[in-house]
Structure 1
Amino acid sequence: MANLQGNTSSTVHQEYLSAAVEIARKAGEEIRTTFQLKKTIEIKSSPVDLVTETDQKVEKLIISFLQNKFPDHSFIGEESTEAGSHCELTDNPTWIIDPVDGTTNFVHCFPFVAVSIGLSINKENSVGVIYNPILDEMFTAIKGGGAFCNDKPISCSKQEDICKCLAIAEVGSSRDKAHVKTKLGNIAAVIDRGAHGLRSLGSAALNMCQVARGGGDVYFEHGIHCWDMAAGAVIVTEAGGTVIDPKGGPLDLMKRNVIAASSQQLAETISSCLTHIEFPRD
């Protein structure tokens, strides 16, 4: 891999990034192989919260690879957490993994699917790798080292005006009527304030990457998980954007809510539009 970030990044962080990129590509090969095939689908929290054999296989592949390289590190994975593993973020270097972010997209062959691998050190988002193997786009970032897509620097739009912004949001997998009503109301509130439009890719990780590359100006969602946003938070921040709790405070990965924006001003404006939903912590 050419040009692993800027000179401000430490050698050890480069090692972590290289490992994450290597296994993301291997995981991506598995996803590409099965993308067009018939999937075996299971249901998790709701009839639209799906998991496939590929999700489970890819997560085991990623964790096994990283455990072998970094045996003292901790791990949080979406599928292992769903299977009953303890989900706890400590100061220890912790890999936070979503093996197939956008599983519903994967099931329907909609090409916005990502491997998302974040590394938290001392509870700070330090390394982020998000790979869309269908479109072959690799987003990477190290804290203090800038953000990249396929080794080329990317940056947020710096847009501050909600009336000139393209927003990104999701309804999510919860079908609780109150949650759905509030989320749709939040989307309407942002449009009513003058946003140019709204997009939904069906992947929190790739939504955040769009903000990082300037393809969208703000993304907001309630009810996602730490593995959905750990890698994306590093990438957006290193691209010059801001990532906060929707209520306006610092991002708390375990709180399950996020605003990722091209500027602090836009993030605060979006925050003021939203009716907030509290979910149980990860």
Structure 2
Amino acid sequence: MADPWQSAYDFAVQVARAAGAVIRKAGEDEIKVQTKSCAVDLVTQTDERVEKIIIGSLKEQFGDGSHCFIGEESVSNGQPCNLTDKPTWIIDPVDGTTNFVHGFPFVAVSIAFAVNKELEFGVVYSCLEDKMYKARKGMGAFCDDEQIQVSDVKDINKSIIISEHGTDRSIEKVTKIFSTMQKILRIPVHGLRGSGTAATNMCLVASGASEAFFEIGIHCWDIAAGVVIVREAGGIILDVDGGPFDLMSRRMMSANNDIIAKRIIKEIEIFEVLRDDAPVPSK
């Protein structure tokens, strides 16, 4: 029986690499910065241009109208963020926009593909590092064609944990985020880190460089590809309360094993965020 999605997977890798080349070229030019929702959440013309390139290429390749698309910039411009049973591409054209603007060297193209609401494959191209992470469900995870796997560390005191502080600067959320970080540091762990891009953070877990990454407030396009890569590298994905993972919940814990995950989850101070698939308010 022919594999229905191998060609889509191979094409996603090509598209991610091409998009990364555009990002690198833009990084060499002067970047005009606009603000999105706040001064911290920066957006550049590159975001929109790269998303158009990715979606345009995918539509040209799979142009029968049977495929759906969820893209960061499209949703920002008012399109709904609904995951259906149809084949669906979930795209973050420039994950780590703030990094990109400042020349901080972690920027990724993230492309995931879901069918019947199940993630089939994910591609994360860390374009400034020139590292291609990829995985298909049931077929392992790879970085530049070399298979990767999560670390075998089970002692929380010997772990490196990744988290981010997000873009919401409300007192309540910032207080809970940093209180959580303080409690994790006092376990103690070897260290807390953050690359500024969720997709890259998940690939660091998948490749064994870190034992866990969690965040509240991320979006489905930030993590969809990384979810497949972590799982195929032998890791686990949970909700930050320890329950089942929900791609649209904007809450995610990824870890090398459940021992590390459950110990970190004990320290997380949860706060409310609006789901990605929440109804868009009418104007």
Give the TM bin, normalised by the shorter chain: over 0.9
- How do residues 1-282 of structure 1 correspond to structure 2 at under 5 angstroms? 11-71=3-63, 72-282=66-276
Q: TM-score, normalised by structure 2?
A: 0.94
Looking at structure 2, the residues matched to 266 and 91 of structure 1 have their Cα atoms a distance apart, in angstroms, of: 33
Query: Contact 1:16–1:127 (CA<8 Å) still a contact in 2?
Result: no
Equivalent residue for 2:281?
Answer: none
Q: Tell me whether 103-112 or 37-46 shows the greater mean CA deviation.
A: 37-46
Q: How many residues align?
A: 274
The amino acid across from 1:25 in the alignment is R
Query: Contact 1:243–1:259 (CA<8 Å) still a contact in 2?
Result: yes
The amino acid across from 1:231 in the alignment is A
The DSSP-based 3-state class of the residue aligned with 2:69 is strand
1:37 deviates by: 2.1
The DSSP-based 3-state class of the residue aligned with 2:266 is helix
List runs of 5+ in structure 2 lacking aligned partners: 277-283
Deviations 1:11-37 (A, max 9, x none): 222212101001001101100101132
1:10 deviates by: 6.9
Percent identical among aligned pairs is 48
Q: Tell me whether 15-24 or 142-151 shows the greater mean CA deviation.
A: 15-24
Change (3 A) 1:95 1:265: same
Looking at structure 1, the residues matched to 270 and 236 of structure 2 have their Cα atoms a distance apart, in angstroms, of: 19
Deviations 1:221-264 (A, max 9, x none): 11000000000000000000001110111111110011110001
Query: Contact 1:13–1:142 (CA<8 Å) still a contact in 2?
Result: no
1:273 deviates by: 1.1
The DSSP-based 3-state class of the residue aligned with 2:24 is helix
Looking at structure 1, the residues matched to 172 and 36 of structure 2 have their Cα atoms a distance apart, in angstroms, of: 20
Deviations 1:181-230 (A, max 9, x none): 11111111111111110111000000000000001110011100000000
Looking at structure 2, the residues matched to 192 and 238 of structure 1 have their Cα atoms a distance apart, in angstroms, of: 31
Query: Contact 1:158–1:241 (CA<8 Å) still a contact in 2?
Result: no
Q: TM-score, normalised by structure 1?
A: 0.95
Equivalent residue for 1:6?
Answer: none
The DSSP-based 3-state class of the residue aligned with 1:11 is coil
The amino acid across from 2:12 in the alignment is A
Root-mean-square deviation (CA), in Å? 1.2
Looking at structure 2, the residues matched to 177 and 37 of structure 1 have their Cα atoms a distance apart, in angstroms, of: 36
The amino acid across from 1:225 in the alignment is H
1:167 deviates by: 0.5
Deviations 1:20-58 (A, max 9, x none): 001001101100101132212111111101110000000
1:129 deviates by: 0.2
The DSSP-based 3-state class of the residue aligned with 2:4 is helix
The amino acid across from 1:38 in the alignment is E
Query: Contact 1:127–1:141 (CA<8 Å) still a contact in 2?
Result: yes
The amino acid across from 1:59 in the alignment is E
Looking at structure 2, the residues matched to 10 and 18 of structure 1 have their Cα atoms a distance apart, in angstroms, of: 15
The DSSP-based 3-state class of the residue aligned with 1:250 is coil
